[in-house]
Structure 1
């Protein structure tokens, strides 16, 4: 949960954590469970989404980043490289920002997974998707630690974090006590963020988190259809 820093000046600027979901990936389009080894990168639509976001962010000087952080998955790295280009910045890759790991199920389609394991993927919060993957609690613990690390290393700065739907949902759900009782990611009190959507936290000097916006994807008008049922973790 949020931490406090009693030594922080109450007049210090808040830390802005801008969470950006990657553009549409090959696994989103093909509905397979992807990981570091099977991430197919962005589709042509995913590139177009990232380019639309690049234009929007470049036109907003108030959101100019002091740092750009990114998951080590290809789809996130490609998205970060596209939106970072106007700022001449190299995104910093961090392995603790990746999507929930899936273990030996990596590479299976949703249908193949359901047939093999007798349950739809991401509906069991307590257990890993398959041997070698993370449980929901392990994933949440990693996300909490990663986002707290980002704040600790960039106090008072604006930081873009290009990551994944599950990471953004867990980050948002940390503000609701019910999140600790969720039995699946579908039970979290937040919707799956759209590809290249923007969600933003303001973290005050005392370490209190306040959400400024969630799943803001107005830059996609005319670029892509929106499927609110698309799984966050593909």
Structure 2
């Protein structure tokens, strides 16, 4: 059996095409790494975007592992230099994107130029490759909210690529059973963020 820990990257700086983590994001990543320190990891793989790589490096360090970047885990399947990252925290409450998320209209937040079927296929193929490379063990997959949505959504036949909003450094646990079926154990675990804020 293989357990996949799908981790959304920690909070990055707002602005730029491939921003690094900000101070809060680094603290979030360290809080998650401390929580996962007691769970042996077989491997850590990540999106090749900086915010995911930095989060993965912090997690992997607790396990003496080196993360493996994979372009197929990238947000929306878009090149790093094609979309400026704007953190929701930096947007005004009346921004259309913030309103869409507040109202549960998550697909309105997906960039219009995303080829949804192609993105879903790339994500599915990438996770298939991860599972093929790791037939057993526990693998942390550090990526993006859209990537997590696209993969988990396909497991439960949700056609949208954005149907829930994962927290920064949240963990969604999946298991590939001996039958080959991938099942969902949990979504959006973020207990470490509560401990950090106490």
TM-score range, shorter chain: 0.7 to 0.9
Q: Does 1:78 align with 2:57?
A: no
Which structure 2 residue ranges, 5 or more long, are not aligned? 97-104
Tell me, in whole angstroms, the C-alpha distance in 2 between the residues paired with 1:216 and 1:47. Answer: 18
Match of 2:124 among 125, 134, 144: 144
- Quote the residue 2:33 is aligned against: 54
Structure whose alpha-carbon radius of gyration is higher? 1
TM-score, scaled to structure 1: 0.70
- Structure 1 residue matching 2:84: 3-state secondary structure: coil
TM-score normalised to structure 2 length: 0.81
Alpha-carbon shift at residue 122 of structure 1 (Å): 5.1
The verdict on how the C-alpha distance between 1:105 and 1:123 changes in structure 2, with shifts beyond 3 A counting, is farther
Structure 1, 48-57 or 205-214: larger mean CA deviation: 205-214
More strand per residue: 1 or 2?
2
Q: CA deviation at 1:123?
A: 2.1
Q: Is the 8 A contact 1:41 1:75 kept in 2?
A: yes
After TM superposition, give the deviation of residue 224 of structure 1 in Å.
5.4
State the Cα distance separating 1:105 from its structure 2 match: 5.8
Q: Which of 126, 137, 145 is the equivalent residue of 1:157? A: 137
Query: Who is 1:7 aligned against?
Result: none
Distance 2:57 2:85 in 1: 28
Q: 1:194 to 1:208 in 2, by over 3 A?
A: same
- Structure having the higher helix fraction is 2
SS of the aligned residue for 2:75 comes to coil
What CA distance in whole angstroms lies between the structure 1 residues aligned with 2:85 and 2:22?
19
| Compared CA separation, residues 124 and 221, structure 1 to 2 (3 A) | closer
Q: CA deviation at 1:222?
A: 4.8
Q: How does 1:139-218 map to 2 (within 5 A)?
A: 139-177=119-157, 179-180=158-159, 182=160, 185-186=161-162, 188=163, 191-218=164-191
2:8 matches 1:21: yes
Q: CA deviation at 1:87?
A: 1.4
User: In structure 2, what is the Cα distance between the partners aligned to 1:51 and 1:107?
Assistant: 25
Aligned partners of 2:54 and 2:124: how far apart in 1?
24
* Alpha-carbon shift at residue 102 of structure 1 (Å): 4.7
Deviation at residue 170 of structure 1 after TM alignment: 1.4
Q: CA deviation digits over 1:112-132, x for unaligned, max 9?
A: xx7xxxxx995287xx634xx
Aligned residues: 183
The one of 178, 183, 193 aligned to 1:220? 193
**Ranges in structure 1 where 5+ consecutive residues have no aligned partner:** 1-13, 115-119, 226-234
